Amino acid sequence: MDQTDDQYAHLLTSFMDRHGLHENATTVEVYHAVRNVAYGRVGGRSAEAVIRHNMGSCSGKHILLRDVLRHLNQSADVETVRGDFAAAIPPHPTMPEELRAFCREGGITDFHNYVVWKSPDGEIKLDATWPDGLIAMGFPGNRDWDGNGDTILALEPENVLDRVEEIPSYKAFLLGQLGRDQIYEREKFLTLLTDWVATTESGGGV
């Protein structure tokens, strides 16, 4: 990170201010603010990129969620799991046929992130991947999460991996272990998905 702790704290505060959150904000309020950030790829897996673009992938959004919760003196970590990302996404009529086929057939290995929040009642999994608009289109989501129990994950974990601080480098390492064909198919799927999601954000896919 090319900024001081104070600068980063100021950036987190700017995100909170933008979403009407205060220093006494609850975990539920923070969670839904991050969850409703648009899903997309912004050229980097960092909270800074998510805040500046008001958009992020599962990695960036969950780093942001973790760090805002820590800023509010909550205990939180990002956990990484391996699973089939495409298989968890429902085909939608407005998707291009190639993307619908990926969703129907699955087979896209990816490494997904979510936050583990240490609540007063124990650890709770917080998946903030999908905003309200995509949930309304059938994506697995958590519009009504009220602080009790785990949220619905954006994919079914095949393996639970580690909780590390430096998510971008760890995820790059994991992706580097995939075969060439797996990397190619994953990239094709994610490009199709994010391009289609962008049309839903502008109203073209609803």
**Residue 139, helix vs strand vs coil:** coil
Query: What tens digit of pLDDT does each residue of 163-175 get?
Result: 999 999 999 999 9
For the range 63-68, what are the long-range contacts, defined as Cβ-Cβ under 8 Å and sequence gap of 24 or more? 63/113, 63/167, 64/12, 64/15, 64/34, 64/37, 65/30, 65/31, 65/34, 65/115, 65/126, 65/128, 66/115, 67/8, 67/12, 68/12, 68/15, 68/16, 68/21, 68/30, 68/34
pLDDT for 2: 56
Average pLDDT over all residues of the chain? 92
What pLDDT does residue 204 have? 33
- Whether residue 70 has pLDDT greater than 80: yes
Residue 19: pLDDT over 60: yes
Q: What is the pLDDT of residues 188-200, one digit of tens each?
A: 999 999 999 999 8
| pLDDT at residue 186 is higher than 80 | yes
Give the span between the Cα atoms of 108 and 85, in whole angstroms: 6
The stretch 25-52 carries a mean pLDDT of: 91
Q: How confident is the model at residue 28 (pLDDT cuts 50, 70, 90)?
A: very high
Is residue 99 within 8 A of residue 83, CB to CB? The reply is no
DSSP 91: P
Number of Cβ within 10 Å of residue 104's Cβ equals: 12
Average pLDDT over residues 152-163: 95
Residue 120 tokens read as 């007063």
Q: Does the pLDDT of residue 201 top 90, yes or no? A: no
pLDDT for position 141? 86
Length of the chain: 206
pLDDT confidence of residue 206: 29
Confidence band (pLDDT; 50, 70, 90) for 187? very high
pLDDT in tens, 81-131: 999 999 999 999 999 999 999 999 999 999 999 999 999 999 999 999 999
Closest CA to 92 of 193, 201, 189: 193
What is the widest separation between alpha-carbon atoms in the chain?
47
What is the rounded CA–CA span in Å between residue 110 and residue 112?
6
- The conformational region for residue 105 under phi > 0 = left, psi -120 to 50 = alpha, else beta, is alpha
Do 173 and 49 form a contact (C-beta atoms < 8 A)? no
